[in-house]
Amino acid sequence: MPERIKHKPLDIDKVKPPKAEIHIITDQCKGCGYCIQFCPKQVLEESEEINARGVHPPKIVDESKCIICSFCTAVCPDFAIYTTEKKCAEGC
């Protein structure tokens, strides 16, 4: 439909974006960078730290941007990253 959209959806704050928890098992990472490269929301970036394998594991830029598509979990060759949804008591 051609109309230009000018107003913020009224129910925008009703939809709670899932609260993600990203777990990085640093020392398991071999630094291939797939999780960083293919994250649809650019949640990750390479860190400066050097892990047990002498590579830079990913670090989280903005966890709130994560929508838990968990592609990083699926594409990691080293089982070094996974995402979970934060279960929070009083509806956060």
Partner 1 sequence: MTERKEPESKKVAEEVRIGVYVCHCGLNIAGSVDCAEVAKFAATLPHVVLAKDNLYTCSDQGQDQIKKDIKESKLNRVVVASCSPRLHEPTFRKACEEAGLNKYLFEMANIREQCSWVHLYDRKEATEKAKDLVKMAVAKAALLEPAEEAEVPITRKALIIGGGVAGIQAALDLADTGYNVYLVEKEPSIGGMMARIDKTFPTMDCSICILAPKMSDVGHHPNIELLTNSEVTEVKGYIGNFHVKVLKKPRYVTKDCSACGECVKVCPIVAPNEFDVGLAIRHGIYTPFAQAVPSTYIIDMNVCLNKDGVVVCDRCMKACERQAVTYEMKAETADLEVGTIIVATGADVFDPTALPNYGYGKYQNVITSLEFERLINAGGPSGGRLLRPSDKQIPKHVAFVQCVGSRSDKSGKLYCSNVCCMNTIKDSLLIKEHWPETEIYVFYVDIRAYGKGFEDLYKRARKAGAIFIRGLPAEIVEDKKNRSLWLMGENSLQNELYKIKVDMAVLSIGLEPRKDSEFIQRLLTLSRTQDGFFMEAHPKLRPVDAATGGIFFAGCAEAPKDIKDSVTQASAAAARAGILMAKGKVTVEAITPISYPEKCNACGLCVKVCPYNAITLNKALKRIELIEAACGGCGTCAAECPFGALTQKHFTDEQIIAQIDAVTENSPEKKIVAFCCNWCAYAGADFAGVSRMQYPPNVRIIRTMCSGRVAPKFVERAFARGAAAVLVAGCYPGDCHYINANYQTQKRVECLQKKMEQSGLNKERLQLLWASAAEGERFASKIHEMKNIVDSVASKEVEASQKVFEKALTGV
Partner 2 sequence: MVEQVTHPLSKYLRADMMPHIWCPGCGNGIVLNCFVHALDELKTDLDKLVVVSGIGCIGRTAGYTNTDSFHTTHGRAIAFATGVKLANPELEVVIVSGDGDLFAIGGNHFIHAARRNIGVKVICANNFNYGMTGGQLGPTTPLESVTTTSPYGNIEHPFNLVHLAAAAGAIYVARWTTLHVRRLTQSIEKMMQKEGFCFIEVISPCPEIYGRYNKMRTGLEMMEWFKKASVVESFSDPAKAEITKEKIVVGEFVDIEKLSYEKLFHEKIAQINERSIQ
Neighbours of 27 (CB within 10 A): 11
**CB of 65 vs partner 2, minimal distance in Å:** 15
**CB of 89 vs partner 2, minimal distance in Å:** 19
Give exposure, 62-87, as e/b (b: 16+ Cβ within 10 Å): eeeebebebebbeebebebbebeeee
Which one-letter amino acid corresponds to residue 67?
I
Residue 12, contacted partner among partner 1, partner 2, none, CB below 5-8 A by kind: partner 1
When asked if residue 10 is in the footprint of partner 1 (CB under 8 A), the reply is: yes
Please tell me the distance from the alpha carbon of residue 68 to that of residue 19, in angstroms, as a whole number.
Answer: 8
When asked if residue 71 is in the footprint of partner 1 (CB under 8 A), the reply is: yes
Q: Please report, as ranges, the residues that interact with partner 2 according to CB under 8 A.
A: 21-28, 30-34, 37-38, 53, 55, 57, 59-60, 63, 71, 73-80, 82
